[in-house]
Chains A and B, each alone.
Chain A
């Protein structure tokens, strides 16, 4: 979505001043961006409207608290949607392991071409992981294969959490580049 910084800043400032019309317009835009973004990110259908409402609520609350106007409101709302979805997934992970109406189910509907494509991707990924430095590989294995959280991984590797996060960032960047060289653009493999 194209941003109109001047107009959005105006709405944002008007909202901070208490203009009810501005609140309604901002809410409408937040709803539209969040609906599209959460659908794109594969948010579970049953929970999607609640998540959209949470994006709207937190955005309006942030503006009302006097939070500085984002330069590009559409980008802000897009990432706000991710933040809300990420929190939702975190809550699900903490919940007891049972199916609920909002649990995302795996997609088992895979044709032979998709199966073959995934096989190639996994082989490429395994080769790329092998090429990481031992330090980066350890972080990736503990994070994705063992599914440990950052606190546990940092303790296991004897690292400060920030150091671990930098290592993870660089490992993922290296994997992305390696996969791209093998013909797999991670952005094109979207949900």
Chain B
């Protein structure tokens, strides 16, 4: 572990993130030229940061074999059959509803996706939108309008139990009858784990949108709106299978099955008292 002082550790991260202004950057670079230990720490940080950005975001695309389409078709039918039977078994005690909702990379696309938002230019979003047009709605009014639009979208998705779709970014609409512990787990087509949440989520009863609201006021910059794109479908993964395991309060999963056993997972998790939902998100072609 580095012997650097915490303030230097923080400075190193600010530096590699390009958060320093030019004067501070130059001063830090002068220090790097004087302090080999600090320079080594930055070199290592840069190398590790690059590996994480490349590898956590871009799983290798599975190489397709000539028969893979047929195999996938059969597997999909089998999986659908298993899910259908599974859903019948669990229907009687269903205490949550889950649906896939497509999301968008930019706030501009998100606004364009809903008719009532299309013409809105909220205050505090101009920098993100790259538009020179003056705002025509306050941030608070915009958030109310946007919440109503998303509520309708989530209602529709939950009512239709949308469990799959094609998107580069996505969100999960979730309705809980009681406070629950929610595990979110994802794997690529070739069973590589993709971390969507760092641990189980403790959620209250009611409606939720994961990973969180699309638009919100930046707590550090009052009056500025920020946009969250939702979960990323890693480039090249082809398809992401997302499994949600929902447990009643006071229960925890004893273990999460190995990713190589993903296909058997719903039954396995059900055995641990979890209500299980599976969503499939296809990467856009």
Residues of chain A whose beta carbon lies under 8 Å from any beta carbon of chain B: 58, 62, 67-68, 70-73, 75-76, 79-80, 82-83, 86-87, 89-90, 96-97, 106, 110, 112, 115, 118-119, 121-123, 125-126, 129, 134, 137-138, 140-142, 144-148, 150-152, 154-156, 161-162, 165-166, 168-170, 172-176, 179, 186-187, 189-191
Given contacts A76-B33, A137-B199, A170-B9, contact A145 B47 (CB under 8 A): no
State the CA gap A74–B55 with chains docked (Å). Answer: 31
State the CA gap A80–B7 with chains docked (Å). Answer: 21
CB of B52 within 8 A of CB of A172, answer yes
Interface set, chain B 1-45, CB cutoff 8 A to A: 1-2, 4, 6-7, 9-20, 22, 25-30, 32-34, 39, 41-45
Sorted nearest first, the 3 A-B pairs with minimum C-beta distance are A70-B33, A76-B33, A165-B10
CB of A191 within 8 A of CB of B55, answer no
CB of B57 within 8 A of CB of A144, answer yes
Q: How far is the CB of A20 from chain B (nearest CB, A)?
A: 22
CB of A162 within 8 A of CB of B10, answer yes
CB of A145 within 8 A of CB of B196, answer yes
State the CA gap A140–B197 with chains docked (Å). Answer: 10
| Chain B interface extent, by class | 35 or more
CB of A175 within 8 A of CB of B52, answer yes
Nearest chain-B residue to A134 (Cβ)? B199
State the CA gap A134–B195 with chains docked (Å). Answer: 13
Q: Which residues of B contact A142 (CB under 8 A)?
A: 198
Nearest chain-A residue to B230 (Cβ)? A146
Given contacts A86-B18, A189-B51, contact A173 B196 (CB under 8 A): no
CB of B30 within 8 A of CB of A187, answer no
State the CA gap A140–B51 with chains docked (Å). Answer: 13
Q: Which residues of A contact B195 (CB under 8 A)?
A: 126, 129, 137, 141, 145
Any A CB within 8 A of the CB of B58: yes
CB of A138 within 8 A of CB of B63, answer no
Q: Which residues of B contact A191 (CB under 8 A)?
A: 50
CB of A190 within 8 A of CB of B47, answer yes
Nearest chain-B residue to A127 (Cβ)? B193
CB of A106 within 8 A of CB of B47, answer no
Any A CB within 8 A of the CB of B46: yes
CB of A79 within 8 A of CB of B18, answer no
CB of A155 within 8 A of CB of B55, answer no
CB of B9 within 8 A of CB of A176, answer no
Nearest chain-A residue to B8 (Cβ)? A169
